[in-house]
Every structure is written in C-alpha cells, then in structure tokens.
Amino acid sequence: MSAQLLDGTAIGRAMREDLRPQAAALAARGRRPGLGVLLVGDDPASAVYVRSKTQACEELGLHHETTLLPATATTAEVLAVVERYNAQDEIHGVLVQTPLPAQVDSERVLRSVDPAKDVDGFHPENVGLLVQKRPRFVACTPAGIMEMLRRSGIAVAGKRAVVIGRSDIVGKPMALLLLHADATVTMCHSRTRDLAAVAREADILVAAIGRAGLVRAEHVKPGAVVVDVGMNRVTTAEEARDLLEPARQEVFARKGTALVGDVHFPSVRAVASAITPVPGGVGPLTIAQLMANTVAAASAR
C-alpha cells in the first residue's frame, strides 16, 4: 500500500480562492480586510513565514502592514506596536510572529492583542471560547488541518485520534477540534510510555512534537491517516539517507539541506492510507487559515 498524498498546497490554494469573493465584497463596502504583522529580530525562518503571509494578503487583495523591530527590542517596545495595531481601524487582524527574543515577555505580549483581532487564536479569551465549543478564532494550523480533512472526505466522527505534542499552538487546540468533531482523542507527549503502542490505536494520527522522523511505521496502524505538522531541517548525509526518499536524497546531494517532518515519510507512507508531505502539506493550510481568520475578523467588525 502507498498512501494518498494530502496536497496542502492545492487545498490551501482552494481555501484562499473561496475567500476571494468575501474579501472583495468587504472591500467594496469600505471594509477591506487588513492584517498587521510584527516581526522581532532577524530569524531567517520567521522572515520566510512572514513573507509567505504577506504574499497571501497581496494575492487576495488584503491590506497588510509589517513592523520590523530589532532582536534587542524590549517588551515595552513590542507592546507599543501591538497597541498601535489594536487601535487602527484598517487593521482587523494582529499577528505577532513567534518565537520572540528571550528578553521579551511573550505571554504578556500575546495577552495584549485585542481578542477581536487575535487571528492567531492565542489569546486566553479565544482559547477559552474554543474549549467551550464556541470558537471565535482558532489557532491556524489545527483549524487548517480540520479543513483539509473535511475537503479530503476524511470522516472524523467516531474515529480514534492521537495527537503527539501538547503545545498551545498546535497540540492542545488540535485535540479540542478533533474532540468537538466527535473523535475519541488521546494526547501524547515526551513522557508518554510506549508511544508506539498508543499511536498505533489511531485512525487519525497528528504528529506535532518537533523531532525529525520520530513517527515511524511501527507507530502507525495500517490504513491510518497521518498528518505531519513538523518542520525540521536535515543537514547531514546520514540524516538524509535515513529520512529522505531516493528522489529527495538526490536533491539533498545538490543543495546540502532539506526539510522533513516529524514523520519518517519513507516507512510510514507504505503503511498509512493518507499522509501529508513535508514540505507542501500542513504549511500552506496554516497560511490559508490565517487569511480566513483575517477576513472573518473584518466581517465581524
């Protein structure tokens, strides 16, 4: 068996296209959706993410502003930008790119975002609404994954779901969304005993723990749907031989680097019924969902 590839690039593109009429209608009524982005420091990965998000805004005709602060920025300087975005009528969504530098109080910054503009879904008020099954804004990666499952015809109700990883950004909201969709959910983490045995119970397995190739064939029940949220960089030939399929090993030999997920793709693809690739799986869904949240925020205001 070779798993169906869940093409996040194509699904994300379809999600964005579905938003285009709504965004245009809002703009025609003088309420063009707007996203304010704050990037602190010069982390290359964060800069790439921000560019992808602003490019998506451009494609949909959304207004966007990006504020860049140096890596030495203080909490007060970061808060000042957030408060400015909170007060701007043309900004409907506020995105603080994480991680923030160590000297910045990240929790305080995320709490300072207006909950009605919290398109990342990180504010405690929005997290609480999600817990109560009254969501306003949901973290973009888990929400995008649920939309991918829906558009791919993968039923969730009555299924056993296992989420590996308990972060506030992915693991916890992912578990809640699956629970609200009537799955029976188990959350796993670094202290879970016999992880492979627990993971093998899953009809839907979501890997979001941040360790390259952790989930292997022995973790996966035959026929399971596997969603790989991980994004890890391979830089050694040894890692490449272990984690990459032959075609990608050839690319690695030329470039000296490659992106892989938390799932050992070569072995798991032979066991699962469907799987997300890395890259081209979950990443585009996250950006599409951010656009959806921004349009929803503009509509609500």
Q: What is the pLDDT of residue 78?
A: 98
| CA distances from residue 249 to 74, 228, 230, 265, 275 in whole angstroms, order as listed | 43, 20, 19, 13, 20
Going by C-alpha positions, the residue among 211, 178, 215 that lies closest to residue 195 is 215
Which of the residues 114, 120, 228, 262 is marked catalytic? 120
Q: What is the pLDDT along the chain (301 residues), one digit of tens a residue?
A: 689 999 999 999 999 999 999 999 999 999 999 999 999 998 888 888 899 999 999 999 999 999 999 999 999 999 999 999 999 999 999 999 999 999 999 999 999 999 999 999 999 999 999 999 999 999 999 999 999 999 999 999 999 999 999 999 999 999 999 999 999 999 999 999 999 999 999 999 999 999 999 999 999 999 999 999 999 999 999 999 999 999 999 999 999 999 999 999 999 999 999 999 999 999 999 999 999 999 999 999 8
Q: What is the Cβ-side half-sphere exposure of residue 299, based on CA atoms within 13 angstroms? A: 15
Is 53 marked active-site? yes
* CATH number of the 140-283 domain: 3.40.50.720
Distance CA 57, CA 129 (A): 27
Q: For the chain, what are the domain ranges? A: 32-131, 140-283
Q: What is the pLDDT of residue 2?
A: 83
Quote the crossing angle between the two packed helices 44-60 and 282-300, to the nearest 10°: 50
CATH superfamily of 32-131: Leucine Dehydrogenase, chain A, domain 1 (3.40.50.10860)
Which of the residues 97, 117, 118, 203 is marked catalytic? 97
